[in-house]
Chains A and B, each alone.
Chain A
Amino acid sequence: QSALTQPAWVSGSPGQSITISCTGSSSDVGVYDRVSWYQHHPGKAPKLMIYDVSRRPSGVSHRFAGSKSGNTASLTISGLQAEDEADYYCNSYTNIYTYVFGTGTKVTV
């Protein structure tokens, strides 16, 4: 059960858009539309930002969008703001009720 692969670091200027990739395999991301994304500020609890590849929970800004193509899921943050600076993790259902997280991406603004 290997971690999904994410870039270690992505940066952008305020107002710009950035995209974080999350690469898995045909055993997880490629076969299940059960990819979620979490924002994690150090010292705080992670926060659900996207689920089922592209759905946003109520209260999450429309600046956050998810997508998937083949074995790779992506999170796009548009109109980057200082408060978006955090670690982001993807997560995928694999099989028989098991899950796997991505390696994590530090976003700097």
Chain B
Amino acid sequence: QVQLVQSGAEVKKPGASVKVSCKASGYTFTDYHMHWVRQAPGQGLEWMGLIFSSGGRTIYAPKFQGRVTMTSDPFTSTVYMEVSGLTPADMAVYYCTREGVESYRFDSWGQGTLVTVSS
């Protein structure tokens, strides 16, 4: 069955970077784009951006442009999302979620990765 398995919780200091992984299985990796969504404590879901199924092109929400980098390794069916210059406002659960090419919907989600930012 389709599975998106994310890396474990992270604790980082302000100013540091964090890299979260999302390993896909149960489907053809290159048939789906991968998006990243986060939820800060007490807040709603926030779309961060996506990496296209081809693995090269990325699009980021304006808020994250320049601070977030998404990469993909089709050989291991794994997508990575790195956030640099962490602040307490980046403390959140980060989810990866897939979108079938041109399907405009997120039909399977990772379990989430909690990133704590604290000095």
List A residues at the B interface (Cβ < 8 Å).
1, 3, 32, 34, 36, 38, 40, 45-48, 51-52, 57, 87, 89, 91, 93, 96-104
Interface residues on B, range: 20 to 34
Task: Tally A-B pairs: CB < 8 A.
Answer: 61
With a cutoff of 8 Å between Cβ atoms, the chain B residues found around residue A57 in the complex are 107
With a cutoff of 8 Å between Cβ atoms, the chain A residues found around residue B59 in the complex are 96-98
Which residue on chain B has the smallest CB distance to residue A4?
Answer: B44
Which residue on chain B has the smallest CB distance to residue A93?
Answer: B104
Which residue on chain B has the smallest CB distance to residue A45?
Answer: B109
Whether the pair B95, A103 counts as a contact (CB closer than 8 A) is no
With a cutoff of 8 Å between Cβ atoms, the chain A residues found around residue B110 in the complex are 45
9 A-B residue contacts at CB 8 Å? A38-B45, A40-B45, A46-B95, A48-B106, A51-B104, A91-B45, A91-B106, A101-B45, A101-B46
